[in-house]
Structure 1
Amino acid sequence: MRLDRLHIQNFRCYEDATFDFQPGFNLVVGVNGSGKTSLLQAVAASFEDFMATMAVYSGSLNENDARFVIDNYSGRIRFERQYPIVIEANGDVFGDRSWLKIKLRVDEAAYPDSALVSAVMESATGLSQSKNIDLPLLAFYRSNRRWSTTNVSAEFSATQKLSRLDGYKNWHDSASDAQDFESWIIGKTLEQLQSVHRSSSIMSIFDDELNWINDALKCALPDSTGIYYDLPLRSILVNIEGKDPTPFNDLSDGQRGLIALISDIARRMCILNPHMGKDVLKNTSGVVIIDELDIHLHPAWQRNIVPALKQAFPKVQFIAASHSPQIIGSLQPEEVIILHNGDPSHPRVTYGLDSSSVLEEVMGVTQREPEIEKLLSELFSTLEDNDLKKAKAQLKALKLRAPDLPEFAGAEALIRRKEILGK
């Protein structure tokens, strides 16, 4: 599964727009209100017919997805939704290279793409006949993800019987219910214990899905040695080198979010493609959509999150949104989509830039507070005019506002030099 191009009309804030995507990582950047989340929602909507054909609930286009305009008739205001909503996609879904989704009116269902439905139906038929068909991953992680566990019991988890299609459950809001994530971790821990008991060897757990997930976690958290369920404590624990095992819910929001994101992507892959064995994380393709990729993450983790996701899941296409200069600086220019008034473009340079340069060159934000920048400019203008008394007063006032600016050393040296030359 892959999305190469998306053309949308009358979808949320977009009247008519086209976006091209890289097969690997795509980061959408823009000011608040520029349409980042709406674009991610359009990407998800383009795959709704695929999910519906696989008998997985996916929602559908509704009135709130229609672009909203205000018409003024000589002072008489009317609020109108614009139709048709058109979502046209190019890429690859089971060999189908292009597909279309149209909603003509508010009271009509969206028209599915017949070619896409046929391609998916053929694969679904093979799945029902127990063929080893590779299923692509599709998941949308929204910005409101919290990932708190829900105290699922070991008894409940031990009775769960998974279908391969359970890897798509809640795909359109993949972090909305942590119960499935928690239950799967518990179930896999119980399977490990049973395997050790049967074989009388601890080595039996190393070729195991939970162990593969823990290997993926090390891509993002090298000090992590595993996530597992502790039976005596009745809690999911995370092992981090140099620390005691920590209950999952006691981790920081950033730690919990990063561990849960990677674990959930890997969990879904394991459910979808059990026939792939130990290579499932490296061989499963798909599309993962992530809003606010940097949410709760320390800047050092923000810098590492993209390389970690690429390493752990090399065949997945990621389409994400973020404001983080650290994340932007870890990507090539063609992997960054800047939105300005709904129009996409790529920056001239991104990879390897420090965060201050990303802020100024890519995001159009000054490196420091504009007021301080203005006061510094006034100070050096005064020095150019050789008004040393005024310059000293300005420097003193600036130090009260911002005591440790690096420019102060240069200003003081210039004042001393001018005083010597003036004697």
Structure 2
Amino acid sequence: MKLEKIKFNNHEIFNDLEIDFKDNNEKILDTIVIIGENGSGKTTLLKCIYDSFEIDECDYEEVGDNKVELTPALYTATVKLEKNEIGMLSPEIAYALGDRSTDPKVVYMPTEINFEKINKVDNTLNFTPHFQNIVDQNMTQNVPSFIATRINKEIFKNRNKTIGQVIDKVCDDINSIFSIMNLDIKLVGLSETSETKPIFRNSLGKEFDIAGLSSGEKQLFLRALSLKFLEVNNSIILIDEPEISLHPEWQRKIIDVYKSIGHNNQLIIATHSPHVIGNITSNELRVMAKDEDGIKLVDNDELSETYGKSIGDILSTTMKLDSLRNDDITDKLNKIYDLLNRNLYDTEEFKNLFNYLRTYLGDLDKDIEQEEYCPYCEKRIYTNDDGHIEHIKPRDFYPKEFQDYNNILVSCNEKNSCGIYKKNNYDDKFINPVIDNPNDYFYYSIASGEIIPKSNDKNSNEYLRANYTIDILKLNSYELKEARKALIDALEVYRENYEEYSEYIQYFLDDGHNFPSLIKLFMEL
């Protein structure tokens, strides 16, 4: 069972909005991530989807091609069924769904879940999933009983094994859900105290009950375990802000955790996390936006690719954050770039602003170090005539980003230089040195003087982006390679002949020599 689309009709928030959940090839997506600013209706959308499966409260119509339309008062959800599911959503049958593991279900996980209260094991608890299920405190507080029930079932199924072996088997099955997260803790069983709570062990061998988990670990464990014990297969799972209380590294992997639970499920997730967004393709993204007419859906053709992109790129390009910095620094950077646009490099105002920014951002900040070096090829820019204002996304094609400081830098302007080669060339693959960290994509070859992709995987996004950028800017032109090789030869002489090698190398940096990243590489050798 998969949701194909939802169409609103004079809805108080969404008006006549229609949202489809298909890819460019008209295939229904297994994972959909919904983003948008606060108040754009993400949570309301999840609730509407969930409510559309209140079979007793909506109109039901079979529309052919194994599809049904479920229509509450102000919207219609179109659902695609597997062949063996045809007829299951009819009012006469749907109310009885849920007790078999293969039955399709609809599960909603809201953000407002209190993970503090955990009940002790109740061996009399007789829990049966329904067709519609909300993962709330009433469910999460009974996770210990779910674990105990699973252990009891496995004992009867595996009479030739000891109880200890059965407990290990159940715990291993549960821990496998989180294998991708590289957690420091593992479930090892249930306590033998009167409260009978889940017991965990960390990498140091220390054991503690669920009260000893961090808020993020509780959130991760109880949400995922609730899904596990609902036996979700062929189901639609709606999750609101799965990133809450999670470390960024866990946020990046959380979708994969939920994908690993059950089979043939459809995940529909609302999030504010760029880490979650960076782990899905733009095809799987639905962006809600507010304007004077209400809520609208951003056309997916207007979205940049998100999979594997840096957090800064996602925040700026996809989530449309005006700045990644605080208001004071942003305001002064904008003034700096305005002066650059007007070629007012040598004014007292520019110098004062620049010194203020340098005080807080330092000389190595990506928006500060542009003063002296071309951020593309790292050649020194000595005078105004040596450089020019470069709009990374050409202003002829992106006029709205003309004043965006994430789109402006000073590049070299000499004959046969990267600033000249780039012209109006731009593609989403192009590495923006203001947003992206070039060190994540490029590496110097000491042998040849070439800049090469850091990734060895020629099919990886990192390799393709690096190769594209090298080609557009001609970063391995004869002139640049020869200049780098001459520097490498000089640095090699110092390295082979002087004990205080690092001090001599520092002279090259202090003197403002071309290719500072190459010089720093030698300092690390």
TM-score by length of 1: 0.70
Displacement of 1:291: 0.8
CA distance, structure 1, for counterparts of residue 182 and residue 256 of structure 2: 12
Query: Higher helix proportion, which one?
Result: 1
Moved more, 188-197 or 288-297: 188-197
Cα deviation code 1:278-306 (max 9, x no counterpart): xxx7xx22011111121111111111111
**1:366 corresponding residue in structure 2:** 322
User: 1:25·1:335 contact (CA, 8 Å) conserved in 2?
Assistant: yes
Of 148, 155, 165, the match for 2:116: 148
String of CA shifts for 1:210-248, please: whole Å, max 9, x gaps: 542222132444544325321137432223434522321
Q: Quote the Cα distance in structure 2 between the aligned partners of 1:96 and 1:201.
A: 38
Partner of 1:215: 176
Partner letter of residue 25 of structure 1?
A: T
Aligned to 1:348: 304
Q: Does 1:225 align with 2:178?
A: no
Q: Name the CA distance, whole Å, in 2 between partners of 1:218 and 1:344.
A: 36
Separation (CA, whole Å) in 1 of partners of 2:188 and 2:117: 13
Range with bigger deviation, 403-412 or 326-335:
403-412
Change over 3 Å in CA distance of 1:409–1:327 after alignment to 2: same
Contact 2:361 2:368 in 1 (8 A): no
Structure 1 stretch 349-358 or stretch 168-177: which is displaced more?
A: 168-177
State how far apart, in whole Å, the 1-side matches of 2:52 and 2:337 are.
Answer: 55
Counterpart pick for 2:197 among 217, 235, 254: 235
Q: CA deviation at 1:86?
A: 2.6
User: In structure 2, what is the equivalent of residue 330 of structure 1?
Assistant: 279
1:9 aligned residue:
9
Per-residue CA distance 1:388-423 (angstroms, 9 max, x = gap) = 54443222322344446333334367999459x9xx
Kept after mapping to 1: 8 A contact 2:190/2:198: yes
- Taking the aligned partners of 2:8 and 2:274, their CA distance within structure 1 comes to 28
For residues 109-143 of structure 1, the C-alpha deviation after alignment (integer angstroms, 9 at most, x for no partner) is: xxxxx97214536x75xx99xxx782123211101
**Larger deviation: 31-40 or 17-26?**
17-26
Q: Is contact 1:28–1:338 with CA below 8 Å preserved after alignment? A: yes
Write the distance in 2 (CA, Å) between the matches of 1:388 and 1:27.
48
SS at match of 2:117: coil
Q: Work out whether residues 139 and 172 of structure 1, in 8 Å CA contact, stay in contact via their aligned partners in 2.
A: yes
1:250 lines up with 2:212 in the alignment: yes
Name the structure 1 match of 2:32. 26
Work out the CA distance in 2 between the residues paired with 1:14 and 1:413. 49
- Residue 371 of structure 2 corresponds to 411
Name the count of aligned residue pairs.
349
Q: 1:95 to 1:116 in 2, by over 3 A?
A: farther
Equivalent of 1:394, from 338, 347, 353? Answer: 353
Q: 1: CA distance between counterparts of 2:101 and 2:334?
A: 65
Paired residues of 1:286 and 1:315 also in contact (CA < 8 A): yes
Aligned to 1:319: 268
Query: For the structure 1 residues 305 and 243, does the alpha-carbon distance in structure 2 shift closer, same or farther, using more than 3 Å as the test?
Result: farther
Separation in structure 2 between the aligned mates of residue 244 and residue 192 of structure 1, nearest angstrom = 27
Cα offset for 1:2?
1.6
Give the alignment partner of residue 265 of structure 1, picking from 213, 224, 227. Answer: 227
Residue matched to 1:120: 94
Which residue does the alignment assign to 1:158? 123
Task: Tell whether the 8 Å contact from 1:26 to 1:337 is kept in structure 2 after alignment.
Answer: yes
Query: What is the aligned partner in structure 1 of residue 258 from structure 2?
Result: 309
Structure 1 residue 184, shift from structure 2 partner: 1.3
CA distance in 2, matches of 1:416, 1:95: 67
Aligned residue for 2:368, secondary structure, equals helix
**Do residues 87 (structure 1) and 75 (structure 2) align?**
yes
For the residue of structure 2 that corresponds to 1:297, the secondary structure is: coil
| Aligned sequence identity (%) | 19
Asked whether the 8 Å contact 2:11–2:74 carries over to 1, the reply is yes
Rounded to whole Å, the distance in 1 between the matches of 2:32 and 2:56 is: 22
- Distance between the aligned counterparts of 2:83 and 2:357, measured in 1? 64
Q: Is the 1:148–1:178 contact (alpha carbons within 8 Å) kept by the matching residues of 2? A: no
Report the equivalent of 2:245.
296
**Considering only aligned residues, what root-mean-square deviation do their CA atoms show, in Å?**
3.8
Gapped runs of 5+ residues in structure 1?
53-83, 100-113, 270-280
Distance 1:312 1:46, change over 3 A: same
Q: Do the aligned partners of 1:149 and 1:248 also contact (CA within 8 Å) in 2?
A: no
Q: Distance in 2 between matches of 1:160 and 1:390?
A: 73
Structure 2, unaligned stretches of length 5 or more?
Answer: 22-27, 59-71, 375-379, 387-525
3-state SS of paired residue (2:220)? helix
Q: Residue in 2 aligned with 1:71?
A: none
> Counterparts of 1:321 and 1:249 in 2: how far apart (Å)?
28
Query: Does the CA contact (< 8 Å) of 2:105 and 2:132 recur in 1?
Result: no
Structure 1 or 2: more strand by fraction: 1
> Which residue of structure 2 lines up, in the alignment, with residue 102 of structure 1?
none
2:143 to 152, 172, 181: 181
Q: State the shift of 1:259 in Å.
A: 1.3
Separation in structure 1 between the aligned mates of residue 125 and residue 337 of structure 2, nearest angstrom? 71
Higher RCO (Cα < 8 Å, 6 or more apart): 1
TM-score normalised according to structure 2 size: 0.58
Say which SS state the counterpart of residue 360 (structure 1) adopts. helix
User: Quick one: structure 1 residues 365 and 386, their matched pair in 2 at CA, closer, same or farther if it must change by over 3 Å?
Assistant: closer
Deviation at 1:40, TM superposition (A): 0.4
Aligned amino acid, residue 317 of structure 1: Q
CA contact (8 A) 1:28 1:319 kept: yes
Q: CA deviation at 1:381?
A: 5.5
How far has the Cα of 1:387 moved from its partner? 2.5
Distance 1:15 1:380 in 2: 41
Q: Which amino acid aligns with 1:16?
A: D
Q: What is the alpha-carbon distance in structure 1 between the residues aligned to residue 35 and residue 130 of structure 2?
A: 27
**Does the C-alpha gap of structure 1 residues 196 and 286 become closer, same or farther in structure 2, counting only changes over 3 Å?**
closer
Residues 337-393 of structure 1, C-alpha deviation per residue, up to 9 Å, x if partnerless? 001232223223111111111111111113423542331343355574242544432
* Separation of aligned partners in 1, 2:101 and 2:362: 64
Distance in 2 between residues matched to 1:190 and 1:96, nearest whole Å: 31
Q: For residue 385 of structure 1, what is the aligned residue in structure 2?
A: 344
Query: What CA distance in whole angstroms lies between the structure 2 residues aligned with 1:115 and 1:390?
Result: 69
2:48 aligned to which of 42, 49, 66: 42
